[in-house]
Amino acid sequence: MSDNKAVGKDGGRYVVAQNRRARHEYHIDDVLTAGIVLVGTEVKSLRAGKATMVAAYAKVENGEIWLHKMHISPHLEGNRSNVPPIRSRKLLLKRAQIDRLQGLTQLKGLALVPLTIVFERGFAKLELAIARGKKLYDKRESIKERDVEREARREVFGRG
C-alpha cells in the first residue's frame, strides 16, 4: 500500500481521495487507471480534496464506462458554472479495456469499484478495481489478520 502515498509536484502523483471501504468489502483482482471527464469547477474542488466515493461504483453502459454516485463538493468560488455534486461522470479507457471489463462484469459477475482519485502530471485519474464481493466470514478473517499484524508490530516496536 505504499504506492498510494501522496507525492509532491516532483513525483507527479498526488492522492486526492480514497475508497478505504472497498478493500474491506471486496477482493481486488486487478486495478486499472482511467481518466475522468470533469468540469472546471470540479477539478478545482478535487485539488482542494473535496471528494468522497464511499457509495461510488462504475458501470458499463452502451459501450462506455460511467462512474455513479461519486460526490465532488461544489467549488466555493464557483457560480452558475457549478454542477450537481452527485452526478454520473464518464471514464476514459481504451476500447479493448472497455470490452474486457464488459465481459468480466456480465459473465463472471465481478464489480467495478473505484479505489482512489489521483492527479498524475496535472490530470485527474481514477484507479478502478475489478473486484469480487467478500462474504461475511471473509471480512471477519481480514479483521482478524489485521489485528494480529497490529499486535506483532506493537511487540516489535515496544509500544505494547
Tell me the DSSP string of 85-113. Answer: SEEEEEEE--HHHHHHHHHHHHHS--EEE
How far, in Å, CA of 114 to CA of 106, rounded?
A: 18
∠ CA 147-18-15, rounded to 5°: 120
Q: Are strands 86-92 and 111-120 parallel, antiparallel or unpaired?
A: unpaired
Burial code of 45-83, b = ≥16 C-beta within 10 A, e = fewer? bbeeebbbbeebbbbbeeeebbbeebbbbbbeeeeeebb
What is the pLDDT at residue 2? 43
pLDDT tens track of the chain, all 160 residues? 344 455 555 467 888 889 888 888 888 889 999 999 998 888 988 998 889 988 899 999 999 999 999 999 888 887 777 888 888 999 999 999 999 999 888 888 788 999 999 999 889 999 999 998 888 777 888 889 889 999 998 888 876 5
Which SS3 state, helix, strand or coil, does residue 22 take?
A: helix
What is the pLDDT at residue 24? 81
What is the pLDDT at residue 93? 93
How far, in Å, CA of 83 to CA of 3, rounded?
A: 32
How far, in Å, CA of 94 to CA of 65, rounded?
A: 10
Model-level pTM?
0.76
Question: Does domain 13-157 fall into CATH 2.40.280.10?
Answer: yes
